Each structure stands twice: as structure tokens, then as C-alpha cells.
Structure 1
Amino acid sequence: MADELFDAVDVIRGKRDGHELSDEAIDWVVDAYTRGVVAHEQMSALLMAILLQGMSRPEIARWTAAMIASGDRLSFGELGRPTVDKHSTGGVGDKITLPLAPLVAACGAAVPQLSGRGLGHTGGTLDKLESVPGWRASLSLDEVRAQLADVGAVICAATETLAPADRLLYALRDVTGTVESVPLIASSIMSKKIAEGTSALVLDVKVGSGAFMKELAQALELARTMVDLGTDAGVRTVALVTDMSTPLGLTAGNALEVRESVEVLAGGGPADVVELTVDLAREMVSAAGLPGDPDPADVLRRGAAMDTWRAMVRAQGGDPDAPLPMARETTVVPVPADGVLTRLDAMAVGVAAWRLGAGRARREDAVQAGAGVELHAKPGDTVRAGDPLLTLHTDTPERFERALEALQGAVEVGPADTPVTARPIVLERITG
């Protein structure tokens, strides 16, 4: 693309002044930035203008298409069975991908789940799975295709050739205060998912204290924007907006969450994790158009999803029978008073798990496989003073103090007769 056709400053001014960017300007600026022609400070200014002025639906669609065009676009049409993927915007204790991918594969779909690592208080799927001895995240495209054909599900790291523009823009947004822009969030997520080549996509958009989106209106805007992007790109897309005011399940931390996921696959596990896994699986089965209309709840009960999990772990070098890592040190946070637990803040639990070593502050940081927080009660449960409420896990006990600081004010216990209205997990459903 001829660089003399556009000037970065003119593109910045146009968006700064509230004008809609042309298709040609969007194509040029994304491509030129990826090639190093547009400077970081110029793209930073454009991202801030987008955050302040917003983008129209056609602009967001074109911006997403330009990021997809910066790299490869995969296709799995040769597999002989429909492909469907799921993406979550992230939350505390959100281990749903682990039981969900093998469950949907056991229903008859191919699930190419290209995942990421955690940053801050939300855990990364790859970090969780790397607590399984021997398991590896990096696969070649040929290995991904072979595993999808043989097992039906793969969870692995995205290749560097998928939407490379997004990697550059993601890093820039993180340091320029432009992360919160809905058009930029939506295009970042959807460029990778569309480039991944799946024919159907189910989105889990979290809302609440432990989610990136704190308010329902904001989460609904993001969900609608992403569903529109997928639909416009020819991908059957549906979004569930789900609650993240309380941690999901009873664990937050890498090996702790793997252990809980295996419990779900074995027919047990916390009710909220089972409920959301089955809800999302039903949406994925429907979006994939699987013959026979299999019910994921029945497939889970029969144990077929566990068989697929074990095959998936083995295919990536892991040992599904090996003991999972356990932290060397634990400390218990007691229930402060008799009564009913009325609040357990998801963000506080996520930050505590992060400070214990389960997460990272920078992308290059290592994580502790066994670190995290174990919950012994959830809001609505009757509790007694002095009983265990939380168990903190870490290899480095000097981390306990800061983790406990994060939990200050996170717990509320009301009188025994306090009514606690359970918030539904799925708050809204958005379709194209």
C-alpha cells in the first residue's frame, strides 16, 4: 500500500474531530503501523481519539478486518465436522474453558481453542493447563489440525502469524490508557477469533466487580458489538452476559482450578461451574448445528467429556494421571462472625490470588502453579465464626501479608435471617 496516499497526522485529526474514518484510511493506518511506518506515538494519539470519539459499526468492522488481514487466516473445513469456539472476557475463578472444550468435542464438534496467558487478577487458560505435568501450549498448525481430527479439541497458544497487528496494538493500549475503549476491545478479541477460522463462536462477557466490565450497560454494549462483528464476518455468533460479582466456583489459581475442572468432568464440582459449562456448551452445540441435537448435560453425565479431556491432555504431552502441584504453604482466613455470608468480592479474591503468585504483573513474569485461593463458602451459605472461609496457597509465605490486605473489606456476614437473593449466572443473551 502506497504510504504517500495518507498522512498519519491527518488520520489522527479526522478521528479527533469526530469524523468517520474511511475504509482506505483504516486499512492504511493498521498496515502502516504493523510495518513500522506509523510511529508508536502517532498510533497512541489515534487510539486515544478512538477512545474519546468512538467508532461506528462500519468503522469497527473495517478496523477488525484490517487486523485480520495483517496475518494468516486459518481454515478447518477439511475436518468433516463443524468447528465452534468460545471466548471469555475473563474473571476470577473462570476455568470454564477446561471442562467446556472437551465436553463440546464429545458432543461431536471440533473445538480449536486458541488461548492466552493471565495478566493481573484474571488467570490465563494456558497458565492453568501448564500446571499439568508435561503439558505444552505451543503447537504447530499441523499439530493443531491433527489433534482436532483425532481428539476433537485443542487448547493451545495462538500462533504469531494470527492478527499480528493486534499484538502490537494490545501492548500499546496497555501503556496509553486506552484499554477501556469498547471498539478496541471488541476488534482485538474478534480479529483473533475470526482469523482462527471457526465457523461459530460463543462469547462469555463477564460483568461485575471481578470482571473488566463493571456495569451491565457496558457489558451489553461490548457483547452487542462483538456479536455484530462476528455476524458481519460470516461467523455464527452469540453472547451470554454472565455474573462475575462473586468468584466462579470454589478456587482461583492455576492447579487449584484444574483440579476443580476435573471434578466437573467426573460428574461433581461446584454447581455454578457445572451450570455455566452446560449453558455455554448448549449454545456451542446449537451454533455448530450438530446433528442429533446432543444434550451436553447427558454427555457430561456419561463420562464422554472426561475421556476427551484425558485424550486432549495426552496429545499435548501431559499426564492426566499425574498429581497436580500443591503450594508449600497455606494460611486460613476465618469466618468473622456467625450468620449468613452476604458478600465475597470477586476482585478482592482475584487480587489476593495474584499476589500469592497465581498471576503476573508483567507478561514475562513466572507464575506459581500451586498458588491461589480456595473458598469454603459462597454468598447465601450459613457460616460460623472461626470456621475456615478461605485458604490461601503459596510457595512464598512472605506473600501472605499483601494477599490478606487485598481481602480487607471483601467479606460481609449478615444475621442468620438475612435474605440473600441469588443473582443468576446468565444475565442476558445476545444474538445476531
Structure 2
Amino acid sequence: MARKPFPRAMAPFYEEQKKREQLESFLTTGTSVLTKHLFGRMKTQAAANAITFNMMIEVETEFLGFRIGIPNIHTAAVTGVKACVGVAGSAPVADYQVFTSPEASEWVDVTWNNGATTVDLPTRIAEERYSMSYSDMIYLPSIARTDSASGRPLVMVRIEYPAGSTLTTPYNDLYYWRGASAPRIYRSTNQEVQGVTNKATFTQNNVVSSGGDTKAVVPAIQYMTTKRGHQVMIMGDSIQEGLGGNVRDYGAVQRACYELSTPEKPIEYFNAGLHAQAPDVYSRMIEDHIDRVRPTILTYSPWSGNDVAANTGMSVAAQRRYKASLGRVYTALQQRNMKPIIFFPEATPTNAAYRNVGANDQVRRDFNTKFLPGVANGIVMKGYADAFTGSRNASGQDEIKAGLTNDGVHPNDAGYEAIKAVVKTHFQRVLDQTQ
């Protein structure tokens, strides 16, 4: 009896190996190190005088210690930055106020690079790609909340910049993060004093008076938790970053994370979205931040409307670029032997009044129905586009469902809520199996 050719004889082995590799990506047991980074794209603001930012930030669960990360999108290094931190058991009732002292007035001075009292923030990595300088770990445990049933702890952070510094702040400011619709507490005030060097000089507790809604340096908070949870990293353009709703940079994935997160099973996210950018730019954010963030769940959008030309639609060259950018993401993961659960959001439509692509919109629909389902090691969030899609016009372009956008491209709050329902369903299925 003739032997089977070697490749055919090995076919069952290869099939079994393929199943094992697919299964491995779902066997995460979560993580006890979470990194909170709320805002995507950054901008610079000048500071003529020495200035200090004083903020209160709510995190997802109790912690044993934490470090802060300060971004820099400036084309030069920013030198001599200082910081101190504390914890708090409550926040002021008025959402326009912050406390200027932590619990028991216990400020802890932050150190950098194994003990330095100041840090020189390195220049940006590249255009649109900020550097992020993380401090030494601060072994300051969280304390119980006395003003909230949520049980989520509060961190206080002060960051001091010397006179003449260039600040890095969220591109779209911080509106609605401190009001009744804010998903978590984030409030910041600033004052032109050296409030870390001499802590008593900082007295500004009013967000509005200080202009804190438009001028705030927002650090990343990386905290060691007592509960295992999931770290989400969000990558894509403006729709993934979360533009269009009232709360800045709070999109469908962000909403799903915080609505599913509990202190017992926390979910935290690092927002690596970059509005107005194409995949060739925002895909590089994985190389910049994944070594620190180490996500257990990665959401990545290979498609971006920023690579879709008006009147003609997405070119063949642009299609090659989004595939190449996805390859960059996979390579970054493979080089580090990281196997997060990967979610792909489907490509959403734009109204013809915003960007008329006519029959070329079929390229987007084919991306959703043919390309994405064929990509290995990722989960397509099926229904993502349908939740946002209305009728098809006479030229063959899908329009956005009525009431879900204010500008013809970005979801508004109602739009993100509709898409969020789809994201939550997919996330919940994974969480039920992995945590």
C-alpha cells in the first residue's frame, strides 16, 4: 500500500496546531497591571510662566501602587518636570472643584529613572506620535471611598512645569469629563506656581476659574491591582478615538469597557486613537506603547475614512496601505510574543453630503464582508456597521442612520450608544470565557 505524501500525512497535525494557536489567544487570564489613558490625539500649549496642574482621577479598582506617565508631543524635550501624588477617599460634591490636598495631606514626591527628582520629557517619537515618560513605581495603596457606592478609588496627581515649557494636552480638550454625564471622575485645575516644589503655594480648587476644561496635562495612570482584570488598547482613527459625542474621546469601545467594568472584574483602556490620521500613522502607536500597556484585548481598525478620497473613494493603493498597516500590528505582537484577543470594528459609512464616494462604497462593504472575516487571529465585531447604517442612496452609497450623527461621519452620543450595544455583546462573550 502506497504511503501518503508527507504534506497530506501531516495535515491532521497542522490542523490541530492551527486550532491550538487560535485557542491560545483566548486563554488569557487577564492582568493585575492596568493602564488608564483617556485621550488620543495630543496638541501643544505654551506656558510662559511656571505652572502646576492639580487633578483627581478615578480608577477602576483598588491598587497596591501606581506610576504616572507624562506625554510629550513637542518637537523638543521638555526639561525639569516634577510631580507628586496622593490618594483621596472622596471628591468635592461640586463638579467644578477639586481638592488641593490628598488624604492626611500626604503628598508623595514622584521619582524617575530609579530616583531622580525631575524628568526631562523626551521629544516626540514622530509627528502625531507622543513620547510617554513613566515614573518609578509609587508604593501608595488606594483607600476606600467614603462618598460613592461604586468603590472606585481616587488618585491625586500634581505635575509642575518650569517657565517657558511647552505642554502636551488633549487635542479636543476635556469638556464633559467632570459633569453629570462623565463616565468617571477626571477634574483638573492649574495655577502659575511651583506647586510641587512648594506644595502650599497651590490653592486653586476651581476648574472653571483655572480654565481646566481646556488646559490640562493628563497623565497615564498605571496601577497594580488586587483584582485581575482586562487591559484594552484602542487603536484607530477618530471613530475609535471617540470624537463626536459630548464627553471628549469617549466612543463605543470606551463606553463598553466602562459599562462592563466592576471593581471585582475591572476593565481599563488605553486610548491610542488618532483622529484625522490614516492607518499608516496610527498603526505605529502599537510600537510606541505596547511594551508598557501590554493589552489583553486589542481593538484595531484597519480601515479609515481618512484614506477615502472624495468623489473617487478608496484607491487600490490605499487598500494596500491598510493591509500593510495591519501587518505592522501583527509583527509588533509577534516580535514580543504577545497574544491579546484582537477585535476588528467594521468600517462605517459616511453621508454623501460629507464625502461623496458613490458606487465605490462597495469597497467598504467588501472590506466588512470579505476581507475582515478572512483575517486570522482576530474577531470581527459583526453588526458594528449595521448599527450605524441607514438606507442606500441612488448612486450606491450607504448613508448613516437618521439621528446618529451630527456631521455626517462621526457618531454622536446616540450613534455611539447604538454601536456600543454591539461592542458590549462581543466583549461580554469573551469576558465570560476568559475571566
TM-score of the aligned structures, taking structure 1 as reference length: 0.29
Q: Which structure features the higher share of helix residues?
A: 1
TM-score of the aligned structures, taking structure 2 as reference length: 0.29
Q: Which structure features the higher share of strand residues?
A: 2
